[in-house]
Every structure is written in C-alpha cells, then in structure tokens.
C-alpha cells in the first residue's frame, strides 16, 4: 500500500517499522546471512535488526561516499565514516539495509563497494521506506512502507541520544 504524506497524518513509528522489517526477514535467515547497513540510517537499522533477529557478529556498515556517481560534482561528504565489514563476504548471503529507497543510486554505489570486498552468493535489499522515483532498476526484497512524496520533499531517518529512531519530512524547495 502506498501512502502519501500530509500534515494531517502522523509519520509511522520507525521503531515499529524495524520490528516489522525483522518479521519479514526472520523466515528467510540462513546461517550464512549477514547484514550490511548503509550509513547512516541503514547502519542504524542494521544494528537494530541484528538485535531483533538475535544475529551473531555478522553485521557490517558501509559508507558509499567515494562510490557515488555524483562524487565529482559534490566531493567528499564532511562526515565520511569508514566502511566496516569484519567478515568474509565470499559465498555469503548479504542483506543490504537502508532507510529510504528512492532513485536507486545509493544502492548501486553500495553494491559497487560490496563487490570490492568479494563475491557474495546473493545480495538482497531491505528498506524501511520505498518512495518510488527510481532512476535505476533497483527494487527492495523487504520493505514495510511505500510512500509517495514530491521530488522536493526529503524523508530522513534520525536517531536521538537514547538510540530511538524516528522519521522527519523536510521541504527542499527553494
């Protein structure tokens, strides 16, 4: 079901969405499954999913800043974090985790970086929100919220000091 955002409807509870995402993933887990979250929101969600799914220490995080197709235009993001994948990806089933799927370009960049670490058996995509607007042929395997937003509207996951996740909608119009 696709929902449109309006000020009359509150944003969904991101914490409940993480639980729902874990419920979707749980039946598909195998011993070789590992989570890799894309900084920053996807990394937060991957951490939460690892807790909810009681996964061993097979959770990584990836910063795609240097793999973006607009790197030459935008340059290096001021808060680049090191990619941390402390396990062998070769032959492993990976679930790439992000907060919002939009154009597909972030996912493409993450796949490029993942394959620099080896050749996984499979890579699936888990997101809390899919807002459509694809520019590349990318689709989530696991998603709990389809939302329609104007192109000038940003959907951002934030984390408070206690680690609680929540959504923010911002107008980017000039």
Topology, domain 2-171: Rossmann fold (3.40.50)
| Residues of the chain where predicted confidence (pLDDT) is lower than 70 | 1-8, 68-80, 173-174
pLDDT computed for residue 173 by the predictor: 67
pTM: 0.90
For residue 8, what are the CA distances in angstroms to 11, 14, 167, 170? 10, 18, 15, 15
Angle of CA points 123, 167, 42, to nearest 5°: 25
Express each pLDDT in 32-46 by its tens digit.
Answer: 999 999 999 999 999
């Amino acid at each position: 079901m696709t929902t449109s955002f309006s000020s009359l409807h509150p944003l969904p509870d991101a914490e409940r969405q993480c639980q729902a995402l874990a419920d979707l993933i749980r039946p598909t887990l195998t011993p070789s499954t590992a989570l890799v979250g894309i900084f920053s929101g996807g990394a937060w969600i991957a951490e939460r999913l690892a807790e909810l799914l009681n996964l061993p220490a097979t959770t990584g995080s990836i910063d795609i800043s240097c793999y973006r197709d607009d790197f030459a235009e935008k340059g290096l993001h001021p808060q680049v974090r090191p990619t941390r994948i402390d396990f062998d990806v070769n032959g492993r089933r990976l679930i790439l985790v992000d907060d919002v799927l939009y154009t597909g370009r972030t996912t493409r960049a993450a796949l490029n970086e993942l394959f620099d670490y080896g050749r996984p058996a499979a890579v699936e995509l888990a997101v809390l929100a899919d807002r459509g607007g694809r520019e590349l042929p990318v689709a989530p395997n696991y998603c709990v919220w389809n939302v329609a937003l104007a192109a000038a509207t940003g959907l951002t996951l934030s984390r408070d000091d206690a680690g609680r996740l929540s959504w923010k909608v911002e107008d980017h119009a000039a």
